[in-house]
Every structure is written in structure tokens, then in C-alpha cells.
Structure 1
Amino acid sequence: MTGLRERDADAHELMDDPGADPGMLAKTYERFRLVNAVVSNQRAVYTRWIRPRLSASETRRVLDIGTGGADLPRALLRWARADGLRLEVTAIDPDSRALDWVLRQPSEPGLVLRRKTSRELAAADERYEVVTSNHVLHHLDGHEFGALLADSERLAAGGGLAVHGDIERSRAGYLGFWLGTLPFARNLLAGSYIRPDGLTSIRRSHTAAELAAVLPPGWRVRRGFPSRLEVIWDADG
């Protein structure tokens, strides 16, 4: 384990292990909704980036890459309906275990689940008003990171937007997550991978300066709250 001053790219989240316990995985997907509501600031993603691109008369399309338990698409769809706006969210994940779990849950109007990768959708010339992800970037190596950004540009071409949200690595963020989840370790989060994997995710994540140094032309990084980073590309510049 490295210190938080440097990214620990060799750390691995337990739920990414092909041999991860199915029961713990299911509990993790189920609890994502509660944890992400606190740490991912999903409402801000909707308000700042997605709602301005929606319409009351025409259905707009959003792509969520690495959807996990699909808690973000479900939240986006609920908020859009409450605002009287028409939205369809396509959710994909490279881990088939995640989609299998989501498919077993109650359906959500406007949620489309597809067993595709971003590369396959880009190759098929799919287009979306917004391409987004949450807590995906820190999972990627350099090649995968570049490929995701390239796919996002193709998928959002023609006036769309790409915004990938992730954690910003910091001592304050690490300590905050450690302390914030401690009271729930033996109850709400028990039997899930959320607490150990959340701490690993922070160690694997980037700082704003690290991302800014490797982003290709047209991309920018923005800080958010709490300990959030957003990597943004706008087809309109």
C-alpha cells in the first residue's frame, strides 16, 4: 500500500475479483443507492449537466457507463419525471454480474439495460445527449482511460456532452469516508464490500492535477463536492 500522496494503482477492489462472494456482491449493489446519494452528489450531476439538455416534448438519451446497481439512472429518471421532462437512460457495465443483478430488480420506466461496451456502441454510431459515468475512472489503466474518453467523444458527437464523475484522492476524503462509514460497518454496510472497497477506491483515485496532466485536448477537469472530480467534454466546445 502506498501513501495517499501517490495513486495506488496496484490496489484492487474486492468486488472486482471474479471469485467475489455473490451474496456480498448483491448486498453491495443494493447499498450503492444509499452510499452514492451521499458521496456522489448525484442531484448536482442532474441539475448542472443533464436537466439543461432535457425537453418536455422530445425524449433525450443519456448513457451511463459502468452502471453498477443502476442507482444513478434510476435517480435521473425520477428527477426528470418530477420536472416534467422526457428522458431515456441506457445503462451498461462490463461486469455481467452487475447487469444480472439489475435485471432482477423492479423495472424503471425509461431505463434501458444493454449488454454492450462503450466501444461497441461507438462503433455502431450510437448518439446520446449526455455520456456519463460514476466511480469508473479510478478502475482504469492508462489505455482504458484513453479509450473511454475517445468512445465518449464519439457517443456524444453532434452536440452532446460527456461528464465522468469520480472521487478525488485526499487525506480528508479518506478520513471522511472511514469515519462516516464506521458507525454502519456492523449494520447497514455489513455483508457488503462497500467500506473496504470505498477506501481502496480513494487510494486508486486521482487528484485534479493528475487528471489535468493527462487529459487530451478538449477535455477539462472540474472539482465538485464532496471530494469529487468531473472530467468534462462538450461537443460545442
Structure 2
Amino acid sequence: MKRAFDPLEPELMDRPQPVTPELEAYLRNLVSFNRYFGSYRLVRKFLAQWLAPDRNYRVLDLCTGAGDIPRLMVDWARAAGVTLRIDAVDFHESTLELARRGSQGYPEIQLLRGDVLKWETKETYDLVICSLALHHFSDEDAVVLLRRCRHLSHRFVLVSDLERSELGALGVQLLTTFFYRLPMTQADANTSMQRAFTFGELRTLAEAAGWENFGHMRFLFCRQALWLDERTAGDIPAVAAVPDVLPCPT
């Protein structure tokens, strides 16, 4: 199954558009995908591994979309006695507007508009995270984004995404046929799986971005993650040992 990426045909969510009921429904579906199909569980595992109670951390979330990953992190941190300050960056103003509406009551989160391939800041971050976004980019830009993640963090980096496979494509097709039937969701969900990277391709991109001694593993529901941990040079046995880490058949 070859990667099908056309920079002249962006996913529907990446096209300029106003805030509409369809966009709101689409983002609700994205949040549902994240909640029920592994993204939240994956992020929580790394937060529990890396962040200690009674400590303060600066976090950067790139390509934040609906802003649900920052909200998830704050909810986890509040319960764990951890203090987070999160900058969440996205390029699309309409998406950010909806993320702002959903993030009321989360003063820990600052939502910012910017191109993640060029976005600069004087801040340095304990953790840089990018969830389910890498497949929106060409191979070349994906390398740039991975390089940016490494540059902006002085401690931890977590990049998670889909893993492209025929089994995953079939699963997405079934989900969008019977459950997530919004046309925008149907179109983008299937396109996302076609544009995702295989396990080997993602590892090659990380190496091209200059990552060394990094972790890379498959997770449930055709998810995969790359990570860097300055304390252990990418060797994190506690995460590697979790029982819900599975291969995604090609």
C-alpha cells in the first residue's frame, strides 16, 4: 500500500474555511477518535512516565487541532498534582476558534496561531508533543517538523501518528461507513490513513531529521509513536513493557 500524498489536494480540515456547524461536528468526531481509539491512552502513558508530582512543566503542542490533547494533559496533571503551562499552536484560525471555545476553564492553555514549520519562540519546553498530524505533511516537511520538535524541546519529545496499512484502511472505512458518517469525516479519515507513514518510513524520517537514540513503537489501533528522552537516550523500558503495544499488520 503506497503512500498517497498530493500537496495540491489538502485534507478538508486543512482548507481555508469559516466556523460552520459541519466543522464543529467534524472536530467533535476527531475528539471522539482520539478518546476511543488510542491517542489519549498513549499520551497518558508517557505523561505518567515522564512528569513528577509537585513539579512545573512547560509544554508545547504542535498542530493542536481541536485542542483536546492539551485539555487531556491538563486534566491528567490536575489529578496527578502536576502543574502544566501549555502553548498550543495551529495554523487554522477557524479550528483555533473552536479550540478556544472548548478550552474555557483551562487557563493553563494558551492557543496560538502559527505555521509549525516556521514557528519561533524564546521559550524552551520540557515537553514538545505532536499528535496525529505528521501525515498532513510531505516527506520533506515531515522531516522539518520532526527537526523543529527536537529543537524546541530540551527534555522530552513525543510524536504520535497513524501507521499506514491495508488493515488500518479497512478499519477506517468500516468506521466511517457505519458510525462516523459525516461526509467531511468520511473523506478525511480515509485520506489520513492513505497519507500516513508505515513503521519503517516514520523511522527513516526521524533519522533524516537527526534524531538519535530515540524510541519508536507500535500501539493499539494502528498507532505508532516516536519519542526522545534526554534522561535515558530514548531507552524507556517501562513504556516498552505495556501490554497494549501491538503490531499493525501490513
Question: In which range does the TM-score fall when normalised by the shorter chain?
Answer: 0.7 to 0.9
1:197 aligned onto 2:188? yes
Tell me if structure 1 keeps the 8 A contact 2:54–2:83: yes
Structure number with the bigger relative contact order (C-alpha 8 A, sep ≥ 6) is 1
CA offsets 1:132-174 (integer angstroms, 9 cap, x no match): 11111101113321221221112112xx111111000111111
Give the match for residue 8 of structure 1: 4
TM-score, normalised relative to structure 1: 0.85
* Structure 1 residue runs without a partner (length 5+): none
Give the match for residue 81 of structure 1: 78
SS at match of 1:30: helix
| 1:1-237 aligned within 5 A | 5-10=1-6, 12-19=10-17, 22-47=20-45, 49-105=46-102, 106-118=104-116, 123-157=120-154, 160-185=155-180, 189-190=181-182, 193-216=184-207, 217=210, 218=212, 219-236=214-231, 237=233
How far has the Cα of 1:21 moved from its partner?
7.5
Identity of aligned residues (%): 28
How far has the Cα of 1:119 moved from its partner?
5.4
C-alpha change, 1:51 and 1:88, in structure 2 (3 Å) is: farther
Amino acid at match of 2:2: E
C-alpha change, 1:21 and 1:117, in structure 2 (3 Å) is: closer
SS at match of 2:170: helix
How far has the Cα of 1:179 moved from its partner?
1.6
SS at match of 2:87: strand
CA offsets 1:79-112 (integer angstroms, 9 cap, x no match): 2212222222221101222112222333324222
C-alpha change, 1:119 and 1:181, in structure 2 (3 Å) is: closer
Amino acid at match of 1:56: P
Instruction: Name the CA distance, whole Å, in 1 between partners of 2:190 and 2:17.
Output: 20
TM-score, normalised relative to structure 2: 0.81
CA offsets 1:30-77 (integer angstroms, 9 cap, x no match): 232212112243122222x22233233222122111111011111111
